Amino acid sequence: MIYGCLGFCSPLLAQAETVQVLKAKQPITIDGKANEDDWLRSQWWPLDKHILGENPQADDFSGRYKLLWEHDYLYLLAEITDDMLFDQFANPLERYWDDDCLEVFIDEDASGGEHQFNFNAFAYHIALDNQVADIGPNNADGSTNFVLLNEHVNSRWLRVPQHPNNIIWELAISIYDETFTLPVSNPDNKKLRLNAGKTLGFMLAYCDNDGSKEREHFIGSHSIKAVNGDKNLGYIDASVFGKITLVNKP
């Protein structure tokens, strides 16, 4: 692995340019519990790169994550500390980014490039009710087309019994390529079968809101170089994602 810190920071705190993702040996049960042996042997990666808002105190927001894969899914385990879980908009397509949500960015062929209004890449916003929202091609009248892609991500979160401000969020992510078209039920949409050696574009983030009108913090897994002072580029440009490679190694 190649680390970006040139020896000035520890490997755990560094973000590898390309992270190797181990293959799960056993089925992963999406139940918000990280008790599978495959999770126990997997490495934590930090979720600590500032994108928007103030830098939060650790008890306000902190997080880390692990990845695994098997042929049908990319698995993600996020451990989140958040002092207040907040879902002000019941409509899952209304300003979902201003509610607490986990945001998983997937670029199936690691092409990078613009994806805000197409499916060159996905920015799955997973809400506290586990619904999954992204933006599709504009509506016929030119308005933004917010869409639910619940079929793409199965997730469950649970509070950690002894640390109720900590949650474990477990996800099974089906991988679709850029040929995905709406509606989500289109029979031509086929999820990909994953194999060792495949490289995907990947990034993770968390939108933290504790009761404000708009999200208070937005923290990601990868450092993003600001353009005109703005680091909130992941939902527009897949070129800011990192890369992961699926490996067969135990």
Q: Which residues bind Ca ion (CB under 5 A)?
A: 29, 31, 33, 60-61, 82-84, 86-87, 89, 99-100, 127, 208, 210
Distance, CA of 157 to CA of 160 (rounded, Å) = 10
d(CA 216, CA 236): 20
Question: Shortest distance, CB of residue 21 to Ca ion, whole angstroms?
Answer: 17
From the list 44, 106, 47, the residue with the least C-alpha distance to 74 is 106
* Min separation Cβ 165 and Ca ion, Å: 9
Residue 30: HSE in the Cβ half-sphere, 13 Å Cα cutoff: 14
- Residue closer to Ca ion, measured from CB, 56 or 242: 56
Nearer to Ca ion, 75 or 105 (CB): 75
Nearer to Ca ion by Cβ, of 16 and 148: the residue is 148
Taking the complex as a whole, how short is the minimal distance between the CB of residue 118 and Ca ion, in angstroms? Answer: 24
**Residue 40, H or E segment:** helix 37-40
Nearer to Ca ion, 100 or 107 (CB): 100
Order of strands across the sheet that contains 163-173: 45-47, 61-70, 73-82, 163-173, 153-160
Which CB sits closer to Ca ion, 43 or 111? 43
> Taking the complex as a whole, how short is the minimal distance between the CB of residue 171 and Ca ion, in angstroms?
10
Cite the beta strand spans of 122-230 per DSSP E: 122-127, 132-136, 145-148, 153-160, 163-173, 199-208, 217-220
Specify whether the CB–CB gap between 89 and 95 falls below 8 A: yes
Task: Pick between residue 72 and residue 87 the one whose CB is nearest to Ca ion.
Answer: 87
Shortest reach from residue 56's CB to Ca ion, in Å: 6
Three-state DSSP class for 38? helix
**Residue with the CB atom nearest Ca ion in the bound state:** 99
Least separation, in Å, of the C-beta of 160 and Ca ion? 13
